[in-house]
Copies of this chain bind each other. A is one copy, B any other.
């Protein structure tokens, strides 16, 4: 389904070369000031990457966000916030060669198996362009979280993105099935190309032996200084302990081979196709803001649940 979250919810829509993409943020508290410059900056990070490179795709669109509802005099009303980003630079003709064949490493074949049809133009719903709606939704979550002193920062090493969430109080997340780590994994593994997830200060902390793994208490301290190490990544038993929450998410390489791909046709025969359209050779510098956005949506939802449930808010 195309909705993320239980209380703070984002529902998205849009195909890469359809009319528009966008979404609805439902459950955002009333009275929040919308910071349009933050949203524009986040969308720029997504479009051009944290370190703009000649290897990212050449789609030239300003990602202008049109706001349709939920905001009055610059503040949220508590009602659904709908937004649209129009696809102005559509070139469906670029993709005619892909109409009847399935590329390797793509979602072409699986969409057809699921739906019996697909939008073959630029990946359709499976395009990375869909993540723009997540960035808008995530930006709104970030604004609300900033008021609670929760902040996100990412570091990129190869195609592994490390995300650190600071300021999250202890007691967020639920034991058993709604563990904060499980929610974060569910959130960021929904990003196209994401394939691995791990919590902990370092990605290999979980491999530490018995006598080194448990984080020892800092005497008389609480909050972001609670333990001497952070091998558990700020989460114990699925619940935040007040230390920074740290996770790492790994992405496989872009699967489109600009020089040509051996595609499968409906009858099972193979054919070589040189993809038209625009495709990333390296997209990793565009990933951090998407990771932060999904993490912000997950954290906002968990924090809102804590307001309903927790004894110590």
Residues of A within 8 A of B (CB): 1-4, 6-7, 9, 11-15, 18-22, 24, 26-27, 29-31, 66-70, 72, 75, 77-82, 84, 102, 104-107, 109-111, 113-119, 124-126, 130, 158-159, 169-179, 181-183, 185-187, 189-190, 192, 194-200, 203, 205-211, 213-217, 219-222, 226-227, 231-233, 235-242, 250-255, 257, 261-264, 268-270, 281, 304-312
B186 touches A115 (CB 8 A): no
How far, in whole Å, are A226 and B174 apart by their CA atoms in the complex? 39
B113 touches A176 (CB 8 A): no
Residues in B whose Cβ lies below 8 Å from that of A117: 30-31, 72, 75, 77-78, 311
How far, in whole Å, are A70 and B252 apart by their CA atoms in the complex? 28
Instruction: Give, as a whole number of angstroms, the nearest-CB distance from A203 to chain B.
Output: 8
A190 touches B213 (CB 8 A): no
A-B contacts, 11 listed (Cβ < 8 Å): A13-B68, A13-B70, A14-B69, A22-B68, A29-B309, A77-B118, A114-B312, A185-B186, A217-B264, A219-B270, A232-B252
B213 touches A105 (CB 8 A): yes
Residues in B whose Cβ lies below 8 Å from that of A185: 182, 185-186, 189, 197
A195 touches B206 (CB 8 A): yes
- Copies of this chain in its oligomeric complex: 4
Residues in B whose Cβ lies below 8 Å from that of A196: 196-199, 203, 206
B114 touches A222 (CB 8 A): no
B206 touches A21 (CB 8 A): no
How far, in whole Å, are A309 and B310 apart by their CA atoms in the complex? 14
B69 touches A110 (CB 8 A): no
Nearest B residue to A21 via CB reads B69
Nearest B residue to A256 via CB reads B214
How far, in whole Å, are A255 and B232 apart by their CA atoms in the complex? 11
B262 touches A107 (CB 8 A): no
Listed residue (A2, A227, A233) with the most chain B CB atoms within 10 angstroms of its CB: A2
B30 touches A130 (CB 8 A): no
Listed residue (A79, A205, A239) with the most chain B CB atoms within 10 angstroms of its CB: A79
Known: A4-B177, A22-B68, A27-B1. A12 touches B80 (CB 8 A): yes
A114 touches B78 (CB 8 A): yes
Residues in B whose Cβ lies below 8 Å from that of A105: 213-215, 232, 236
